[in-house]
């Protein structure tokens, strides 16, 4: 049975991906900061072998220690889904909060690197593996007040391309999924718990759901070994660009 390692699995796209890959026959390592949510997920996936790791990807030492603690039956990871990330604030650069900048760069960029670095030795040794990084349309189009978040996702795009080139001799597939508007906890985090403001983001059109993104990820990781769907840009039908959405 193949093993999939999913960061940020306690909610949203990560959680939906865990459900999809569990149904597809993978055993799972699910990670996040909210253990109670991960335990609830494991209970929902009754019959699927699941191992829970609780850590913050922004903490390099904690990330390395958690991955080093994997039991032998979960240590040989076949698929890595680098999903953990965040958006904090939506302000012009001159009004931005440096703490928000740190949170986004540490989680979206450095966290992805820390997890990948810790898992790559077994993939390179086996000369096999598949990595999917969750980016965003924001990595392709910078929009007003998105400055540092867009920069962090542009970095994910660049890192993904670099990883694909560097790992090519090791037969490790590397890909990126770039969603547009997805209705998850994303906007609640960005607006710091302002649920009313977050709800307005998705009013007037039908956004993607986390399960839509998970379906794409499941398809990508179940392709034959000679196939790598290297990049996907995924929009709801009402969206034409990062900030162009037809409402009503």
Write the CATH number for 44: 3.40.50.720
Three-state secondary structure call for residue 15: helix
- Percentage of residues of the chain with pLDDT beyond 70: 98
pLDDT tens-digit series, residues 122-155: 999 999 999 999 999 999 999 999 999 999 999 9
Average pLDDT over residues 170-195: 85
pLDDT at residue 140, as a whole number: 97
pTM: 0.94
Tell me the pLDDT band of 184, cut-offs 50, 70 and 90. Answer: confident
Domain that holds residue 64: 3-245
Ordered DSSP codes for 176-235:
EEEE-SEESSHHHHHTTT-HHHHHHTTTTS--EEHHHHHHHHHHHHTS-TT----EEEE-
Residues designated catalytic? 149
Look at the chain and report how many structural domains it folds into: 1
């Amino acid at each position: 049975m193949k093993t999939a390692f999913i960061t940020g699995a306690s909610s949203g796209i990560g959680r939906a991906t865990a459900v999809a890959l569990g149904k597809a026959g993978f055993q799972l390592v699910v990670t996040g900061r909210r253990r109670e949510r991960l335990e609830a997920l494991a209970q929902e996936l009754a019959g699927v072998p699941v191992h829970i790791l609780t850590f913050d990807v922004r903490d390099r030492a904690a990330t390395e220690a958690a991955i080093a603690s994997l039991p032998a039956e979960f240590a040989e990871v076949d698929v890595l889904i680098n999903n953990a990330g965040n958006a904090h604030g939506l302000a012009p650069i001159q009004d931005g909060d440096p703490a928000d900048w740190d949170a986004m760069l540490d989680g979206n960029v450095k966290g992805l690197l820390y997890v990948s670095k810790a898992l790559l030795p077994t993939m390179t040794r086996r000369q096999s593996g598949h990595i999917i990084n969750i980016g965003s349309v924001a990595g392709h189009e910078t929009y007003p007040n998105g400055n540092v978040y867009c920069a962090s996702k542009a970095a994910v795009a660049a890192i993904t391309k670099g990883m694909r080139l560097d790992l090519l001799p090791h037969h490790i597939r590397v890909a990126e999924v770039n969603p547009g508007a997805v209705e998850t906890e994303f906007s609640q985090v960005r607006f710091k718990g302002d649920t009313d403001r977050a709800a307005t983001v998705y009013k007037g059109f039908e956004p993607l759901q986390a399960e839509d993104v998970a379906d794409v990820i499941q398809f990508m990781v179940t392709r034959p070994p000679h196939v790598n769907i290297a990049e996907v840009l995924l929009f709801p039908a009402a969206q034409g660009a990062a900030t162009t959405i037809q409402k009503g």
